[in-house]
């Protein structure tokens, strides 16, 4: 992340997609939908602008704290994606083994 700026009534966070995946950014934005509206816009090839709009009942919230929480959640979501990617082969092996012992798969014994 390259920092937070303010544009009028909204705050902008620049996120480097070489560090955080787009999927992680989207999951994090969805998680914060109840607190702020989040708009994602591509800025350059490797940077996404995340716009935070604090309106209505949420306008009195502490924007800096919410954006800091967003950054922590973004790191968490990105690490979850990495762990998912790294453990997929093991998870698939465990599932294959579990289903091979169930009645869901018919065995042809000669």
The pLDDT tens digits for 83-106 are: 999 999 999 999 888 888 766 555
> Is the residue at 110 inside a domain?
no
Q: What's the pLDDT at 9?
A: 78
Cα 76–Cα 90–Cα 80 angle in degrees, nearest 5: 5
Within 32-62, residue ranges assigned H as helices are none
> Is the residue at 53 inside a domain?
yes
> Is the residue at 49 inside a domain?
yes
Domain housing 69: 3-100
Cβ neighbours of residue 80 under 8 Å, at least 6 residues apart? 24
Which strands form 47-53's sheet, in the order they lie side by side?
Answer: 3-7, 10-16, 47-53, 37-42
> Is the residue at 108 inside a domain?
no
Q: What's the pLDDT at 98?
A: 86
26-48 per-position pLDDT tens digit: 999 999 998 889 999 999 889 99
Q: What's the pLDDT at 57?
A: 67
> Is the residue at 109 inside a domain?
no
> Is the residue at 51 inside a domain?
yes
Which CATH number does the domain housing residue 15 bear?
3.30.1360
> Is the residue at 92 inside a domain?
yes
- CA atoms of 56 and 69, how far apart (whole Å): 20
Q: How many domains does the chain have?
A: 1
């Amino acid at each position: 992340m390259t920092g937070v700026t303010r544009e009028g009534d909204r705050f902008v966070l620049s996120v480097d997609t070489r560090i955080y995946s787009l999927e992680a950014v989207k999951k994090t934005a969805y998680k914060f939908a109840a607190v702020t509206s989040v708009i994602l816009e591509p800025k350059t090839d490797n940077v996404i602008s995340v716009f935070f709009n604090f309106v209505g009942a949420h306008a009195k919230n502490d924007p800096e704290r919410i954006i800091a929480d967003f950054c922590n959640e973004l790191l968490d979501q990105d690490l979850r994606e990495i762990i998912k990617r790294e453990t997929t082969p093991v998870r698939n092996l465990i599932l294959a083994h579990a289903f091979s012992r169930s009645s869901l798969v018919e065995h042809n014994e000669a």
